[in-house]
Chain A
Amino acid sequence: MYFAGIDLGSTMTKIVIVDEDQKTCSSVIKHTGAEHRRLANKVMEEAMEQAGLSFDEISYVIATGYGRINVPFADRQITELTCHARGVYSLFPGVRIAIDIGGQDAKGLRINGGKLVDFVMSDKCAAGTGRFLEVIADALGLKLEDFGNISLKSTNRVSISSTCTVFAQQEVISRLSEGIPLEDIIAGLHDAIASRVARMVRRLRIEPDVVFTGGVAKNIGVVKALQDNLGCEVLVPDEPLLSGAIGAALLARELTLDALAKGEPIQRGERRLEEATFFK
């Protein structure tokens, strides 16, 4: 039996397929974008091809992430909060606090034995998210991927006082015009995000292991800044984008096997492997 988890994030779409033994058979990461979101089924087809499976061979599909309500081929939707908690736990069984910084928001999860017990989420505001760095990278004409390594060269980090993306952008430009080195500015930006997220997550009481996921966890500068702000080690998975999709796939597996063990019927969705129609 095979189980799929699809995490339709605001920026990236991630799909993971696992088998009965929790082994990953395929994982695909694509940009969400307007077209891709509509064509989530294409990403699914790619994941199935990678695993050498047909759709009928996949016993259960769980959708998560912001786009979860519009996945016609999913059997069920579960929030990214629960899915991340499950996914991170599978990678780091000692996890107590997970921090996910994605394109659209930041989340803090308190996890106990793989179960989500409490959470905090940032508000609808780009500050403290991946979008914040994207906007600034764009303004500076730099590649986002380079931010982490550039910031490591910093010897005298500036303090970015604006927590608002729009104003921080102005602040960055004026710092540049003052002749402050780029690496010190970028290190300042990383600290701005990390301190904002740390303040929010502290409401859950920080307790190791702390795991950091989401696209922003790929930025070594933010990882370091988060460690400084929290005062503890922060673990990052090899592929920090996948924890939600892994969690969704594992939950799909657990729900199905539980139902089979109890002899209960499995609640299925419509499972139409086709385009979502909500753009009409």
Chain B
Amino acid sequence: MVAEKSKGLTRVREIYRDRPGRIIELKEEGKKIIGYLCIYPVLELMTALDLVPYRIFGDMREPITKADSFLPTVVCPFLRSCLDLGLKGKYDFLDGIVTTHICDVGSNLAGIWNYSVKTPFSHNIDVPHTAHETAQEQERELIKAFQKVLEEFTGEKITGEKLTRAIEVHNQQRALVRELYDLKKLDPPLISGTETIQVIRALMSLPVEEGNQLMREVISEVKERKDGPTRKSARLLLWGSIIDDSALTEMIESLDANIVMDDTCVGSRAYFDDVKVTNDPVEGLAHRYLVDIKCPRTFRARDYNDVRKDYMADLESRFSYLVDYAKDWKADGVILESVRYCDTHGYEVPGIRDYLNSLGIPSVYLEHDYTEGALAPLRTRVQGFLEVIG
């Protein structure tokens, strides 16, 4: 198997082309593979039980044909694509699937997947959509329930030691991702936005320790390389819903711009927050997975009891991290993207734009269909945006 020989970015590209290759090998060795949707399932619990978490992605290059019998066409095409691949047997190697209440479509998808794809083990975590104290308490209970279900499934107990160790290796991975992103602060960045997505996709396709090894290889390779991105006129921050294929970033980077930072869930959003070490590890996990991850699926208000909201203060508390990203990575502008019908991200856009406008940070909003073929009009928007900020 080629995967054994190649390293670093070469390995990343191989995994990008043949994603389940390594995971099927592991399955043949007797490992249990658990598919998960979105970044809210607690990976540490699976790792602690020697299960291999494997993120479920769609495929924007594959026409959706089977899922339309189960989900209407006016919902998230990413989730429709995931289900479509499940129905076509592309995820038959999974021993289980873990879903969360991502959004309404996401949680309904969990049920539909169960009776239509019939993966042997399944569990849904009903993650709350706000992060106030009672929601955090609920999240802690949900994590405990998830732990119990996993223990029943494997017939093994998660000891404190195993869980602490799992938290450590996942935090290591997060630190390695942040280290890689630091190399994007340079001008030109040492790694492109397209390569970054491919690296993160590889991490989400491998057991955590193997991913950490791959990250170390990638980081040392990227530091030394001479064939990295060239300097371009604009440095961009990319915010938005899931991008699990590099077609969109390739289009953007084929223009006079480098994507130097992102806030998407196949990117920094999935890795920038560590699990803090707490006496009861569940507390640290709950805080990280509910409060710290900055996906719009969780409403993070400045003050949940504030009935007469101060709009700008609320925006400041929710989105100032984006401005920090823009400053630290020296971004000239922000691309806000959302897959069509993603209300979760779409509703966030006017607020983010108001906030960015108030600080004089230019932004453009792109809505896309999760298909590779419809990028030409988006190209005009991005190029027009670059001309505006140029």
Query: A residues near B, CB below 8 A?
Result: 66, 78-82, 105, 116-119, 121, 123-124
Contacts and interface: CB of A to CB of B under 8 A. Distances in A.
A117 B388 contact: yes
A269 to B, nearest CB: 15
Nearest to B383: A79
Instruction: Please report whether the interface of chain A is mostly helix, strand, loop or mixed according to DSSP.
Output: mixed
Interface in B345-390: 367, 374, 376-377, 380-381, 383-384, 387-388
Contacts of A78: 387
Nearest to B390: A82
B387 A82 contact: yes
B356 to A, nearest CB: 13
A81 B377 contact: no
A121 B383 contact: no
24 contacts: A66-B376, A66-B380, A79-B380, A79-B384, A79-B387, A80-B380, A81-B380, A81-B387, A81-B388, A82-B387, A105-B377, A116-B387, A116-B388, A117-B388, A119-B381, A119-B384, A119-B388, A121-B377, A121-B380, A121-B381, A123-B367, A123-B377, A124-B374, A124-B377
B65 to A, nearest CB: 21
Nearest to A124: B377
Contacts of B387: 78-79, 81-82, 116
A258 to B, nearest CB: 14
A249 B375 CA distance: 27
Contacts of A80: 380
Interface in B34-78: none
Contacts of A79: 380, 383-384, 387
A118 B363 CA distance: 10
Nearest to B374: A124
Nearest to B369: A124
Interface of B: 367, 374, 376-377, 380-381, 383-384, 387-388
Given A79-B384, A116-B387, A124-B377, 19 more contacts: A66-B376, A66-B380, A78-B387, A79-B380, A79-B383, A79-B387, A81-B380, A81-B384, A81-B387, A81-B388, A82-B384, A82-B387, A116-B388, A118-B388, A119-B384, A121-B377, A121-B381, A123-B367, A123-B377
Contacts of B380: 66, 79-81, 121
B386 to A, nearest CB: 9
Select the residue from B376, B377, B384 with max chain A CB neighbours within 10 A: B384
A105 B376 CA distance: 12
Contacts of B374: 124
B136 to A, nearest CB: 38
Contacts of A119: 381, 384, 388
A117 B377 CA distance: 19
Contacts of B383: 79
Nearest to B357: A118
A222 B263 CA distance: 42
A81 B388 CA distance: 9
A66 B388 CA distance: 18
A269 B387 CA distance: 19
Contacts of A66: 376, 380
B69 to A, nearest CB: 23
B11 to A, nearest CB: 33
Select the residue from B374, B380, B381, B383 with max chain A CB neighbours within 10 A: B380
A116 B384 contact: yes
Contacts of B376: 66
B254 to A, nearest CB: 10
Contacts of A81: 380, 384, 387-388
Select the residue from B367, B374, B387 with max chain A CB neighbours within 10 A: B387
Contacts of A105: 377
B82 to A, nearest CB: 24
B276 to A, nearest CB: 42
Contacts of A121: 377, 380-381
Contacts of B367: 123
A74 to B, nearest CB: 14
A119 B362 CA distance: 12
Contacts of A123: 367, 377
A80 B379 CA distance: 12
Contacts of A124: 374, 377
A37 to B, nearest CB: 14
Nearest to A65: B380
Select the residue from A66, A80, A81 with max chain B CB neighbours within 10 A: A81
Select the residue from A79, A81, A105 with max chain B CB neighbours within 10 A: A79
A119 B374 CA distance: 20
A124 B383 CA distance: 17
A268 B380 CA distance: 21
Contacts of A116: 384, 387-388
B352 to A, nearest CB: 15
A133 B176 CA distance: 56
B123 to A, nearest CB: 38
Nearest to A78: B387
Contacts of A117: 388
Select the residue from B374, B376, B383 with max chain A CB neighbours within 10 A: B383
Nearest to B376: A66
Q: Which 9 A-B pairs have the closest CB atoms?
A: A81-B384, A79-B384, A82-B387, A79-B383, A79-B380, A116-B388, A124-B377, A119-B384, A79-B387
B353 to A, nearest CB: 10
B347 to A, nearest CB: 16
A117 B387 CA distance: 9
B301 to A, nearest CB: 26
